[in-house]
Amino acid sequence: MIKKILGITFFALLSITATAQSKKTLEKQQEIKNLVWNDNDPYRNVMDIPENWNNESAVFIVKSIKYIYNRPGNSIEYTKIERDRIKLLDQAAVAEYSELKYTEGNVFYREMSRVTNTFFLGVKVIKPNGEEIEIDVNQESVSNNDEKKIAIPSLEKGDIIDYYFYTNTIVGENDLYQYKPVENTIGDTYPIIKFDFLLETEDDFFINFNTYNGAPKLQQIVEPTKKDKKRVYSFKAENVERNDFPRWFFPLVELPSYKFQGLFARSGKYEKKAYAFIPEDVNIVKTNVSKEEIFNLYEDKFRPYGDLGDVERFLKKKNFTTNEEKVKEVFYYIRHAYYTNYVEAFVMDESNIMYPFELYGKNPIIFNNEVDFVRFFTAFLKDNKIDYEIIIGTQRYNGDIKDLLMESNISFILKVNTEKPVYIEYFDPYATPNQISPLLENTNAYTLKVVDRKHIENIETVKLPTSTYKENNSTEKTEMTITPDFSGISINRSFTYNGQTKIDEQKNLLMYYDYVYEDHAKYETEPILDRVRNKKDQEKYKKEYAALLKKLKDEQQEKIKERTAGEYNLKIENYSFKILKNGRFGKEDSFEYKEEFTMGNDLIKTAGKNYILDIGKMLGSQVDLSNKEKGRTNNIYMNYPRSFNYQIMVNIPDGYSVSGIENLTSSVENETGGFTSKASIEGNKLVIDIQKFYIHNYEPNANWQKMVAFLEAASQFTQSKVLLKKE
Amino acid sequence: METVPIVAPETNKETHVFNAKINNNALEGNVSLTYSGESRASFLYVFNNLRTEMKNEALEYYLKRADRNMMVDNIETSDLENRDDQLSIDFNLKQDNAVSSFDDEIYINLDYYQEYGKWLFNERNTDYEFAHKEYLSSEINLELPEGYKVTELPKGIDVNTKTYKIFVDFELTDNVLHYKKVFVMKDAVVKKSNFEEWNETIKSLQSIYNQQIILVKD
């Protein structure tokens, strides 16, 4: 998690791997081929597609996914076989599949455990006359990070491509092992005639599985017997329409989909140790995690625990008027002491300037997960006799909490019951009390009621608060000065961000060095290089670090410049920016920065002795809906309610006046949001004030046209022009 | 051994004709496009690579250039599957926000495509090769509204060298403004030694593109 905040980019490695095949591998390859493409394959001769899909780009004749869990000897084995047979109907689909892209499935690692990963693929092309051409999969593949590609030559419209991906992982002797969860929609970007899902498992594998949003339910097709404990489950779907994945949408909430997770536990003892939401009996497929189950599992999970030495030292020198204030201050202290305090160390290590970790002495406290953090923070609360609850939520794109299936879909929030409640979530450099993830806002959740500040006694349902569009605000002021010869424009812009918008922008724009040193100063901790005892070493490292910092700062400036240029879709020059205020200490603490740059005459057009100024373009890119999007039938899921205030000020060139400011007036407001603009002449300045806002984070499809109305008004505004008239 | 025959630019001719009228803030009217030779091949290549379920929208999408201001309908084409005959496309175009009115004057941004307008070779060190010998003929015929006249017609360009020809002309006959452009890349290449001359021509072209047509009350 810490590594995410570093701005160092790693370039993708492009490599060509010639695969030398051993005899054994070739034999195995053949074995897998016979597993998939054999005489029992019901699709081996299917070539037709329904007429109503003749105008599609391509159609899946079959999409089949198979998971197999078994135990060869003492190991545990996982196999996934995905098989697709697709008829390609147009040139675009042919171009898409002329390079078959794939990743070699999940690679499971576990410390001190032997793991064997195997991957095979098979591809054949079937011509309209039935001729089958098998592609040599042992040819060179090109890889880019995890993704590989092989060429499929001579594909034409009307061909069928039939391929499978076989992934196998064997983990050595193991008592307990949890596989990664799988969450997918059934549909794909092309329609599917037949969708087949199959799961086969031996004893000791616990399965959580469910389907959603009208997808067919899982059926058990093979029951275990005394002799053979194997179980087989499946579900099938037919004539699945293509999925459009529009903007502002959470597919798993509305589209037919399936989710599952497997867990291996060798015996009863290990089942308990699993400490996970698994079925009570291995032969039952668990379809849901209920409120009661969460209570039972988490009753003991959050015992307050942590070494509060640092916190106590911090509190000693302080006085607080309210507990609320105390809680917030301790949170910020911990955010530094156990997070931002370490950041430079990771930078030093990754850039190989020096090995930093021994400079932190003893055992630095690091929170590896949310639970560790909650336990530590509640230890502080208990010590200071402050009451709290632990909220269990699930992010909006997962669906409602009552449909919870897997622990990985759970998020925790601490609700501290001070005079006014303080909500605290797991931290990153920008975490702020009372600012919870927008993906948890306005959701149904469960709360674990805590008694005596340590015993979890009960669980209730609760609704999480939501932020407002006024709180989540972006305010921009732009000042434009046209050069006397009208060959260009110089621009100053200032930005102020608040609320959820602030957090997004901090993540987009700030680098660790923009705030780490301010934290060090505030909490009187040492920047890491100051800890280096040897003076000569320290000097050497500081020099190298200074060079690295300069490089990072140049990259940061370039990135922000490109973002601005992208907003206007114009070339800009002479760019510089400055962070004025980081805004990391409280919801009311705004993030502010400013920038300056020049542009050419792209927005100025000669009109005889006058000039036309494309002033609307200074609003930047607005959501521009295609006809298809305007006819959207899905509900609308946005990150958070938000508002944007813009002020554009143009210094009117000497000897000119402005005509056409009535073109700059616009007003569309309704229950979903709005766009308003007005303009006036103040002295020698043209001043335009604009507001755009989205009132909710969710709108039902019935309200879509209301949103379209103000989005169109905003888009139309970008076309506004004024005349600079020579007097 | 045989030699590959040399093709004259006319074989690759592309023509655009837009007969337009002013409708509030828009230029509206009928457009006729024709493509032959290499220009036809270029068009078909792009068109065929669009996904089928978009094909109905694809042509519309292509003609609009993904610009919210361009609305097209009533599209009629010759057979797009035929790679031999001249390809023709006819449609109605509404080009929104091309016209602005301030006080009693009308300002028109007449040329949307502004072909070759960005082709200054300022930093280039090697000859520039075009995809093929391009031949483009474009006409925009604007019917002026009643009661208005053109204040000033921009000056045209007439450059004809061994390797290229660029011709731009404005003419007013009756009540129609004829804006004609012809671009011929005779050799499919602009040699580095010709850059200076080429750049001068392109700058004049840019200066025309940068100007609005201004109409005032009669």
Contact with chain A for residue B55, Cβ under 8 A = yes
Please provide the average confidence, as pLDDT, over all residues in chain B.
88
Interval A193-200 mean pLDDT = 97
Question: Using N-to-C axis directions, what is the helix angle for B37-48 and B55-64, rounded to 10°?
Answer: 120
Check residue B77 and give its pLDDT.
86
pLDDT band at A17 (very low <50, low <70, confident <90, very high): very low
pLDDT in tens, A663-700: 999 999 999 999 999 999 999 999 999 999 999 999 99
DSSP conformation letters of A546-563: HHHHHHHHHHHHHHHHHH
Closest Cβ–Cβ partner in B68, B102, B214 for A659: B102
Looking at residue B13, its amino acid is K
Determine, for residues B52 and A628 on separate chains, whether the beta-carbon distance falls below 8 Å. no
Per the CB < 8 A criterion, the answer to whether A238 and A193 are in contact is: yes
Higher pLDDT among residues A16 and B24, named by residue:
B24
Determine, for residues A627 and B57 on separate chains, whether the beta-carbon distance falls below 8 Å. yes
Check residue B43 and give its pLDDT.
84
Closest CA to B183 of B127, B133, B110, B112: B133
pLDDT band at A14 (very low <50, low <70, confident <90, very high): very low
Tokens 């070494």 sit on residue: A307
Q: How far is B26 from chain A (nearest CA, A)?
A: 12
pTM of the model: 0.87
Contact with chain A for residue B100, Cβ under 8 A = yes
| Cα gap B157→A706, rounded to integer Å | 49
pLDDT band at B66 (very low <50, low <70, confident <90, very high): low
Q: What is the ipTM of this complex?
A: 0.82
Residues 6 or more apart from A303 whose CB is under 8 A from it? A375, A454
pLDDT band at A18 (very low <50, low <70, confident <90, very high): very low
- Per DSSP bridges, beta strands B213-217 and B105-108 are antiparallel
SS3 content of chain B, % helix, strand, coil (to 5): 20, 40, 35
pLDDT at B48 over 80: no
pLDDT at A395 over 50: yes
Give the least confident one: A3-12, A238-247, B161-170: A3-12
| Residue of chain B whose alpha carbon sits nearest to that of A616 | B97
pLDDT band at B53 (very low <50, low <70, confident <90, very high): low
Please provide the average confidence, as pLDDT, over all residues in chain A.
91
Per the CB < 8 A criterion, the answer to whether A58 and A88 are in contact is: yes
Structure tokens of B35?
Answer: 């493509």
| Cα gap A370→A347, rounded to integer Å | 23
Per the CB < 8 A criterion, the answer to whether A55 and A143 are in contact is: no
pLDDT in tens, A529-560: 888 889 999 999 999 999 999 999 999 999 99
Closest CA to A202 of A82, A67, A28, A106: A67
Check residue A108 and give its pLDDT.
56
Q: Which residues of B touch A95 (CB under 8 A)?
A: 49
Structure tokens of A611?
Answer: 């000039």
Closest Cβ–Cβ partner in A92, A605, A721 for B210: A605
Vertex A253, ends B52 and A1: CA angle to 5°?
100
Sheet with A115-126, edge to edge strand ranges? A132-134, A115-126, A160-171, A76-88, A58-70, A192-201, A231-240, A219-222
In a mutational test of the A interface, the residue from B24, B53, B69 whose CB has the highest number of chain A CBs within 10 Å is B53
Higher pLDDT among residues B15 and A72, named by residue:
B15
Determine, for residues A90 and B51 on separate chains, whether the beta-carbon distance falls below 8 Å. yes
Check residue A2 and give its pLDDT.
42
Cβ atoms within 10 Å, residue A710: 23
pLDDT in tens, A587-636: 999 999 999 999 999 999 888 899 999 999 999 989 989 888 999 999 99
| Helix (H/G/I), strand (E/B), else coil: B59 | helix
pLDDT in tens, A441-484: 999 999 999 988 888 899 999 999 999 999 999 999 999 999 99
User: Under CATH, which architecture does the B9-30+96-217 domain have?
Assistant: Sandwich (2.60)
Interval B109-119 mean pLDDT = 88
Element (H, E) at A708: helix A704-717
pLDDT band at B121 (very low <50, low <70, confident <90, very high): confident
Residues 6 or more apart from B198 whose CB is under 8 A from it? B119, B121, B164, B190
Per the CB < 8 A criterion, the answer to whether B147 and B217 are in contact is: yes
| Cα gap A498→A642, rounded to integer Å | 10
pLDDT in tens, A492-516: 999 999 999 999 999 999 999 999 9
| Helix (H/G/I), strand (E/B), else coil: B167 | strand
Residues 6 or more apart from B51 whose CB is under 8 A from it? A57, A90, A92, A93, B58
pLDDT in tens, A338-388: 999 999 988 988 898 888 888 877 678 888 888 899 999 999 999 999 999
Check residue A11 and give its pLDDT.
34
Residues 6 or more apart from B84 whose CB is under 8 A from it? none
Looking at residue A228, its amino acid is D
Q: How far is A196 from chain B (nearest CA, A)?
A: 25
pLDDT in tens, A400-411: 999 999 999 999
Check residue B52 and give its pLDDT.
62
| Cα gap B218→A480, rounded to integer Å | 36
Element (H, E) at A223: none
DSSP conformation letters of A330-351: HHHHHHIIIIIHHHHHHHHHHT
pLDDT at A19 over 50: no
Structural domain boundaries in chain B: 9-30+96-217
Q: How many residues are present in chain A?
A: 727
Maximal C-alpha separation, chain B: 70
Closest CA to A166 of A77, A60, A299: A77
Looking at residue B203, its amino acid is K
Using a 10 angstrom Cβ sphere, with 0-12 exposed, 13-18 middle and 19 or more buried, the burial of residue A330 is buried
Determine, for residues B57 and A663 on separate chains, whether the beta-carbon distance falls below 8 Å. no
Q: Which residues of A touch B105 (CB under 8 A)?
A: 723
pLDDT at B171 over 90: yes
Q: Which residues of B touch A605 (CB under 8 A)?
A: 109, 210-212
| Cα gap A666→A647, rounded to integer Å | 15
Tokens 């660029």 sit on residue: B166
Per the CB < 8 A criterion, the answer to whether A459 and A447 are in contact is: yes
Interface of A with B (CB under 8 A): 55-57, 89-93, 95, 242, 601, 605-608, 612, 624, 627-628, 659-660, 663, 715, 719, 721-723, 725
Check residue A106 and give its pLDDT.
56
